[in-house]
Amino acid sequence: MVYSNARDIQKATQNFTNILGEGSFGPVYKATMPAGGVAAIKVLASNSRQGEKEFQTEVSLLGRLHHRNLVNLVGYCVDKGQYMLIYEYMSNGSLEKRLYSEDDTLTWDERLQIALDISHGIEYLHEGSVVQQAVPPVVHRDLKSANILLDHSMRAKVADFGLSKEEVFDGRKSSLKGTYGYMDPAYISTSKSSLKSDIYSLGVIFFELITAIHPHQNLMDYVNLATMDPDGGVDEILDKRLIGKCSSEEAKSLAKIAFRCLHKTPRKRPSSGEISQAIVKIKQRRLPKVGTMSFAGDDLNRLTSMIEDQQVELSKILSQNEN
């Protein structure tokens, strides 16, 4: 991980003028780095509450968690009271902006792949990997479409780990963290977050992908209406821009997964691994069976995931040796 100074970052961001957006932590700028390449710089706002703690959380977690579906933290800066985080640049911005854009509609294939990418990222946080265990499990605590970023190929990565915490089964309550509309009702009522709180948020995001209705625009009211008609309810809430351009059966299958994620009893919600397998099976149904040889979709997918994780680790080791 690279440590930069404020002067270099100021120059790279054209004196902090090339702004990409702003979150609770502070503004995010596009930067052309001195060593080449483009990065996103998140700057701690002077009035950010608990900003230093969030900064430390991101550096601590992303310094040891590496997965193709997590946004990569490439460096940071602590200089004269300024706190900045340097991330890989995600050229297609957030899922929230892309999903609600009138100019460029996400296709159904892109949405289904995004759902799978997110579930893989959360699976890694919750269940770890063979190469590098994420132990204890990490609860993100602020999953939402604004915190899902898209690269040049429209592949999704989970971002913004400032509110994340390692899961400790001590039964203690904590102050509520997250974004209303995405927060687990069980968490709101008990102040106890868990892996299943993330699963609830994941279900909300899946329904956003299906409907293009934001949680702050009464998404759950539409979802509840859909539950009254198991056969045609999902068709009624499907994003109008997708009508005639996607498989109704696939949309219903993803909705079924989302409904399970939103179960009012947290322990009855699926695990992140089960969600990944279920989405893989949706995609697998498209593939024609060739001869008698076949891989189980989830097995092939997990094998691919392991290989890619190993590549990430190898690149990291080689980079450290070069330095």
Q: List active site positions.
A: 142
Answer whether 146's CB lies under 8 Å from 58's CB. Answer: no
Instruction: Rounding to the nearest 10 degrees, give the CA dihedral for residues 8, 13, 16, 19.
Output: -150
Those residues with Cβ within 8 angstroms of residue 199's Cβ, 6 or more apart along the chain or in another chain? 122, 261, 266, 269, 270, 271, 272, 275
Residue 221 CB-half CA count within 13 A: 5
